[in-house]
Amino acid sequence: MKVLIAIPTYNEKENISRMINSVLNLNETAKAAGGSISLPLHINVLIIDDNSPDGTAKIVKEYINSHKRLAANADINTNAATNVNVKDGGNKNANLISNADVNSDERVFIIEREKKLGLGTAYVAAFNFALDNDYDYVITMDCDFSHNPEEIAGFISHMQSEKCGMIVGSRYSGGVRVINWSMKRLLISYSANIYAKFITGIKITDLTGGFNMYDVNCLKKINLNGISSRGYAFQIEMKYRMVKEGKCNFKEHPIIFYERTSGRSKMSKGIIFEAFFRVIKLRLGLFK
């Protein structure tokens, strides 16, 4: 099972190294709630960085290069940095850098984009990367540890048992599981999900959540390049397209969401307004 973990970044220097290590360690330690994951597991990481002023991309490249030097010392062949074309909605010649870990086939990639192009186009770039490189599944998540990397094993186990097109990481399935949010923010998020569910007709308790797993075969059924949402409205649009356009079934996987402890939230009024009107457009069929 070849799984790509897609992580968009913007000013995440305080979290990025720890996140990469946490995800890659799952290749050795991943255990599902009901037992071991049965298939051989190959987890790769793709960072999509929007030209972070704090040097996030530089940290990723230094991480990759340090592992290359270790691999070279161990007489393991590694690939040099390569320029490739990616469909990211903006920078068509993004820099792609790969790394072979010394002790396994773990790999890390980075796509650097010229400017802040938004969450939606970052994930579209990741999906196209997965399609072009024969991945079986893509897991999307945040870099700030609001999504616990240890829960990835549960997603994979759930996907194995259910064989569905999408696993939705839900903060609200069977109860509220959000840590350290203010009551105001919790009410805004919970109300937004009720609103989006009512307008779109998609029976998912957490339409706005970003911790999700997609079957690449289902990604092929939707028009990825027609996705126009840039902010968190992307999460709603993506789930809507998977169900309505791709005709893919889904299951919800309960997760715990933790408020970030390092860095700054990317939420803004503009992102909220985009999501509010996007669901109406989706319901009216006003999308490509």
Hunting for tokens 């097109």 — which residue is that? 165
Query: Which amino acid makes up residue 81?
Result: A
Q: Per-residue confidence of the chain (288 residues) as pLDDT tens digits?
A: 899 999 999 999 999 999 999 999 988 765 444 455 666 788 999 999 999 999 999 999 999 888 776 666 664 443 444 344 444 444 433 444 433 333 333 589 999 999 999 899 999 999 999 999 999 999 999 999 999 999 999 999 999 998 899 999 999 998 999 999 999 989 989 998 999 999 999 999 999 999 999 999 999 999 999 998 877 789 999 999 999 999 999 999 999 999 977 656 555 566 566 666 677 787 777 676
d(CA 96, CA 80): 10
Sign of CA dihedral 191, 195, 200, 203: positive
> Tokens 């984009």, residue?
113
pLDDT at 65: 87
Dist CA 2 CA 219 (whole Å) = 15
73 C-beta neighbours (distance < 10 Å), count = 9
Instruction: Tell me the two tokens of residue 47.
Output: 């960072």
Report the alpha-carbon distance of residue 3 to residue 139 in Å, rounded: 7
Identity (one letter) of the amino acid at 161?
A: S
3-state SS track over the chain: CEEEEEEEECCCCCCHHHHHHHHHCHHHHCEECCEECCCCCEEEEEEEECCCCCCHHHHHHHHHHHHHHHHHHCCCCCCCCEECCCCCCCCCCCEECCCECCCCCCEEEEEECCCCCCHHHHHHHHHHHHHHCCCCEEEECCCCCCCCHHHHHHHHHHHHHHCCCEEEEECCCCCCCEECCCHHHHHHHHHHHHHHHHHHCCCCCCCCCCCEEEEHHHHCCCCHHHCCCCCCHHHHHHHHHHHHHCCCCEEEEECCEECCCCCCCCCCHHHHHHHHHHHHHHHCCCCC
**What pLDDT is stored for residue 99 in this prediction?**
39
Q: Domain 2-188+207-219+248-263 falls in which CATH fold?
A: Spore Coat Polysaccharide Biosynthesis Protein SpsA; Chain A (3.90.550)
**CA gap 116, 122 in Å, rounded:** 10
Sheet with strand 82-83: strands edge to edge: 82-83, 95-96, 107-112, 42-49, 2-9, 137-140, 212-215, 166-170, 250-254
Position 284 scores a pLDDT of 75
Locate 156 and state its tokens: 């994979």
